[in-house]
């Protein structure tokens, strides 16, 4: 079994239960949430096709929706994130290119690259979640503010979790 595949399975097995059991109840001032499960999607291999990534995102989002009682909101946002991720990775590749079998993690490409990679994707995911939840644009500023706070909180937890789970690449 490939070492990257073992890392991905381990991350899914750890972060999805953490998301639905612990981070579901972690809300900052009723505004910001932590979507740590996004690390599972962000760390999928660069070589993975967009369709395969979208299918993985669909099932991941549905698993979260099942416990959040959100009727497909996280699934839709996750599928959209994986659609954008493919194009975002192509536009923002490192100068030397992506290494074969290297996951797009902080330990492989550095903090500044990872923040530039993850921040816009997490923000778009959060925007989709909160705008679909709102149902219209009447709550535009409130939804945008919630998405911004959620993005910051999620990114902080995702970066911290990588320091604990994957301290450095051997």
Tokens of 40: 């599972």
Q: What is the pLDDT of residue 118?
A: 94
pLDDT digits (tens, 9 = 90+) for 44-67: 988 889 999 999 999 999 999 999
Q: Given a cut of 90, is residue 25 above it in pLDDT?
A: no
Instruction: Kindly report whether the global pTM for this prediction surpasses the value 0.85.
Output: yes
Candidate from 3-12, 37-46, 109-118 with smallest mean pLDDT: 3-12
Position 84 scores a pLDDT of 95
DSSP assignment of 100-119: TT--S-HHHH-HHHHHHHHH
Say whether 88 sits in a helix, a strand or coil: helix
With cut-offs at 50, 70 and 90, classify the pLDDT of residue 168: low
Cβ–Cβ under 8 Å, residues 166 and 146: no
Q: What pLDDT is attached to residue 27?
A: 84
Model confidence at 33, pLDDT cuts 50, 70, 90, reads very high
Residues composing the chain: 170
Cβ contacts of residue 9 below 8 Å, gap of 6+? Answer: none
Q: What is the pLDDT of residue 90?
A: 85
Q: Which residue has the higher pLDDT, 128 or 15?
A: 128
- Is 137 exposed, middle or buried, given 0-12, 13-18 or 19+ CB atoms closer than 10 A? exposed
Asked if 75 and 55 touch (Cβ cutoff 8 Å), the reply is no
Model confidence pLDDT, tens digit, residues 121-157: 999 999 999 999 988 888 899 999 999 999 999 999 9
89-114 tens-digit pLDDT: 888 876 777 777 778 888 888 888 88
Q: What is the largest CA-CA distance in the chain?
A: 50
Is 170 a residue whose pLDDT tops 50? no
Alpha-helical regions (H) of 22-165: 38-42, 50-68, 73-91, 106-109, 111-134, 140-165
Q: What are the C-alpha distances in Å from 14 to residues 37, 56, 76, 134, 161?
A: 9, 16, 22, 30, 11
Q: What confidence score (pLDDT) does residue 126 get?
A: 96
Residues 56 and 8: their CA atoms lie apart, in Å, by 12
* Between residues 166 and 80, the one the model is more confident about: 80
């Amino acid at each position: 079994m490939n070492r990257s595949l073992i890392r991905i399975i381990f991350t899914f097995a750890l972060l999805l239960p953490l998301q639905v059991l612990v981070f579901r109840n972690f809300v900052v001032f009723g505004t910001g949430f932590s979507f740590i499960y996004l690390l599972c999607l962000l760390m999928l291999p660069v070589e993975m096709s967009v369709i395969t990534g979208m299918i993985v995102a669909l099932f991941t989002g549905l698993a979260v929706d099942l416990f959040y009682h959100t009727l497909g909101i996280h699934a839709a946002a996750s599928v959209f994130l994986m659609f954008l991720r493919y194009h975002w990775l192509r536009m923002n590749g490192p100068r030397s290119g992506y290494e074969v079998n290297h996951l797009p993690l902080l330990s492989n490409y550095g903090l500044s690259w990872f923040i530039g990679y993850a921040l816009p994707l997490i923000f778009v995911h959060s925007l989709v979640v909160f705008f679909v939840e709102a149902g219209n644009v009447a709550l535009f500023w409130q939804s945008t503010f919630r998405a911004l706070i959620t993005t910051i909180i999620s990114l902080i937890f995702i970066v911290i979790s990588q320091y604990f789970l994957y301290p450095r690449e051997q």
